[in-house]
Amino acid sequence: MLIAFAFALFGAFPVLGQFSAGLDLALPTGNFTNMASTGFGVSARYDAIISDKLGWTASLGYESYAGKTYTVNNVSIPFGNTSNVPIQGGIKYYFQEASNGFYGGLDISLNVLSTWTYSYNNGNGGGYSLVSDSNTVIGVNPGIGYRLPNLDFALRYNARGDFSSLGIRAAYVFGAK
């Protein structure tokens, strides 16, 4: 609710910044590769200028990863889909004039993760039960990007413990100057 209010407030004052809507591709890294394959998502971002080359951002997104089956010691563990709702805030530093060209950025994120896995039943009849696991983790997301007047492309590493990924974002910037 607070995030929706913030987006509405900033949208009422377009002079302060710009919105973008993007498509995201996420490649799991580390332990996450055992349970998930390529992820796809969408995101909305608000960018505002602090000074000549420095800006701040706030964003909200949704990512979905297809599950994999992980085998260890001849035991297969099937994982279901994993979803993530990242809520992020951060800074951007433009190497040229603000809001154009190459930039580096750093976001801090709150990630609401939900995954499904199967658990072996030791009781009557054996078999598997579907089990949901949800948790919230803090992430640190350094990245680089390139901004054109109406387009923004970014590559970032989303460090979220066991749920880390390499992310690529292509976005359309509304109301670009």
For residues 45 and 67, what is the distance between their CA atoms, to the nearest angstrom?
Answer: 27
Q: What is the pLDDT of residues 131-157, one digit of tens each?
A: 788 889 999 999 999 999 899 999 999
**How far is residue 33's CA from residue 140's CA, in Å, rounded to a whole number?**
19
The residue assigned the tokens 């909305």 is 44
Residue 41 has pLDDT above 90, yes or no: yes
Q: Which CATH class is domain 21-173?
A: mainly beta
User: Which pLDDT band, with edges at 50, 70 and 90, does 69 fall under?
Assistant: confident
The pTM assigned to this predicted structure is 0.80
What percent of the chain lies above the pLDDT cut of 70?
A: 81
Residues paired with 63 in a beta bridge: 41, 84
| Nearest in space to 29 (alpha carbons), one of 20, 38, 18, 16 | 38
Identify whether the C-beta of residue 119 lies closer than 8 Å to the C-beta of residue 92.
Answer: no
